[in-house]
Structure 1
Amino acid sequence: MESNDLEEEEFGFSRNYFLAKELCSSSKKSARKVSDINLVDEQELREAYAKLEFKHEKEINNLVNSYQKSYAEWVFMLRCGFGLLMYGFGSKKVLIEDFASTALTDYSVVVINGYLQSVNLKQVTVTLAELLMEQLKTQRKLDNHPKNQQPLNTQSMDELISFLDGPHLEGGDSFVCVVVNNIDGPALRDSESQQYLARLAACSHILMVASTDHVNAPLLWNKKMVHTEFNWYWYHVPTYAPYKVEGIFFPPILAHSGSAQTVKTASIVLQSLTPNAQKVFKVVADHQLANPDGEGMPLNNLYTVCRERFLVSSQITLNAHLTEFKDHELVKTRRNSDGEDCLYIPLTSDALQKLVHEINQ
């Protein structure tokens, strides 16, 4: 009897427990939202962050400089066919760029900043091919390469990679080095970008040095990419340096997105474009400001205006500018009620006016 009483008591306790949980779950849920949290303005937070004095700056510089004694070994590993992957806590941007500028002076170097929100890998590959072609021409070892070939910037990625991996040199003395800051960054984290980077790293005339910071970065690659294409040689090089440059393009967690920072980022990107590209962008911006309630500027209208102002000579030229704008997320496309493709700039009117003002200066 005592055993049955004990079992009944335990059953009653369990039943009451689940009844209580059921009552809790059916009660009114909290109406609080993340958006209700009073967050500081992003620009204000960044200004406060900029005023902070980082500790141990001297020790950090000494640590980074201490890696210079390994530069000769790193160059040797590159010449042996390995890709160098630098990992460890702290920004490694200064370290690997110093390595490239001091130890890789015999090679052409192209830097890819994976911490940016977008990277045009096609343009990077075109640049690599152009640099290699210049080396081959200088050494007069381009005899086996087909002449009168179509311009590099009109070739496909497969054609460009084939050129970079082609048997142009018997001695194999021509190389172009690719330095990738944050190969696991947001601009390169998709599968297609990693596949292209792996194929580039496997090319016979490409040397690759990269840094990684995300703990799950190895999940981006399969066995073939790690051991055959990238052929990584891992180096643990903690620097404990702050991610100053890398953090500029990321909104702080404790701040709401401010238009000032968005305008600043867009302005930085526009300054890197050609004057004609900036003027084409301003055409879209002026149209959007003049029609704030519109659905965007139709592509045909944009081409007509740009032709009249002698900003572009053909639709191909305009498309090249638009591709650059879209890659940098300066403009987006949507269809209007008439089914036309229209361009619009994803900024508020106030932010767009500030950006246009900066362009005009």
Structure 2
Amino acid sequence: MNMDEIMDEEEEEFEFSRNYFLAKEHGSSSAKKSTNKLTDINLVDEQELREASLHIQPKHEKEIACLMDSYKNMYPEWVLALRSGFSLLMYGFGSKKVLLEDFASTALTEYSVVVINGYLQTINLKQVLITLAELLHDQVKAKRKASSRDLPKSQQPSNSQSIEDLLTFLDEAEIEEDGYVICVIIHNIDGPGLRDFETQQYLARLAACTHICIVASIDHVNAPLYWDKNMAHTQFNWCWYHVPTFAPYKVEGMFYPLILAHGGANQSVKTATIVLQSLTPNAQSVFKVLAEHQLSHPEEGEFLSTS
């Protein structure tokens, strides 16, 4: 290839590039911008949308029922895993609430069972630990009465005790019967009320207690990121099971705002709270001063809202 041919090719490439950018510039200047706005969307009332969703006819009921029945054959394996010191973690598409509760009611009848609904927005973890400690304390008292020799006295669990004290009691309670176990069923351990790191640490320490076993479900793809190596493999000691149920999240979905509906005053308050929490401390203090001033001078409310 001679020099003239090379020059011709470079000139063609340059001309192509120039025409491309000229076309883009011309198109962007002449293109019409849409006048549609998100605020123009006609959102329905949240209650109406929830009522309408309840009337949606379920599909593939027979196939889902057969799938759920197939999981029942795995119950003995799950019980064996619990007795071997593992915690069970159920994952897969679909609500696993019915599956876990059926497993607890049919295969864990010899255990005491406590259920935590992690899909709720707020959960009183301390009250859960008090309930577990009371169950274990009653077992200690029963064994002390049945035994001829004295056992160390244990303090009655109460609200005055800290979470650390309750976890210490659950971990160190002495019961002669090694087989006594309290099973904690956690629906959505990745739920909004449980997903902060401190709560996950407490749950991991709970799972490591001698007389406690955990059966939990997850639905969020990033849920495993809540646990470090020690929590996942030593404290929780998870045994993973893929159990897609394809069941609708009817109960779990009741506590989440719907995208296609306006949530009213309650949702507005939640949204405002999230926004305020994202501000710097100085900005938060400014809004606090404005709010206090408006509350103390209600007659100036119209002026503040329009200024």
1:234 aligns with 2:240: yes
Q: CA deviation at 1:52?
A: 1.3
Question: Which residue matches 2:14?
Answer: 11
What does 1:27-176 correspond to in 2, within 5 Å?
Answer: 32-140=36-144, 144-147=151-154, 149=155, 151-166=157-172, 168-176=174-182
Which has the higher Rg, Structure 1 or Structure 2? 2
SS at match of 1:154: coil
Q: Structure 1 vs Structure 2: percent identity of aligned residues? A: 64
Return the letter of the residue paired with 2:47. Answer: Q
Structure with the bigger RCO (C-alpha within 8 Å, sep 6+) is 2
Change in Cα spacing, 1:40 to 1:173, as seen in structure 2 (3 Å) is: same
The one-character-per-residue Cα deviations of 1:173-214 (angstroms, maximum 9, x if unpaired) are 322111001111222222222111111111111110011122
CA distance in 1, matches of 2:185, 2:70: 20
TM-score by length of 1: 0.66
Return the letter of the residue paired with 2:80. Answer: F
Question: Which residue matches 2:213?
Answer: 207
SS at match of 1:165: helix
Name the Cα RMSD after superposition. Answer: 3.1
Change in Cα spacing, 1:188 to 1:12, as seen in structure 2 (3 Å) is: farther
Change in Cα spacing, 1:249 to 1:204, as seen in structure 2 (3 Å) is: same
The one-character-per-residue Cα deviations of 1:100-156 (angstroms, maximum 9, x if unpaired) are 112212221111111111111111111111111111111227955444x47532212
Return the letter of the residue paired with 1:9. Answer: E
CA distance in 2, matches of 1:134, 1:244: 36
> Which segments of 5 or more consecutive residues in structure 2 lack a partner in the other structure?
268-286, 296-307
CA contact (8 A) 2:143 2:175 kept: no
CA distance in 2, matches of 1:166, 1:183: 25
CA contact (8 A) 1:136 1:174 kept: no
SS at match of 1:62: helix
Q: CA deviation at 1:88?
A: 1.8
Q: CA deviation at 1:230?
A: 0.8
CA distance in 1, matches of 2:291, 2:251: 44
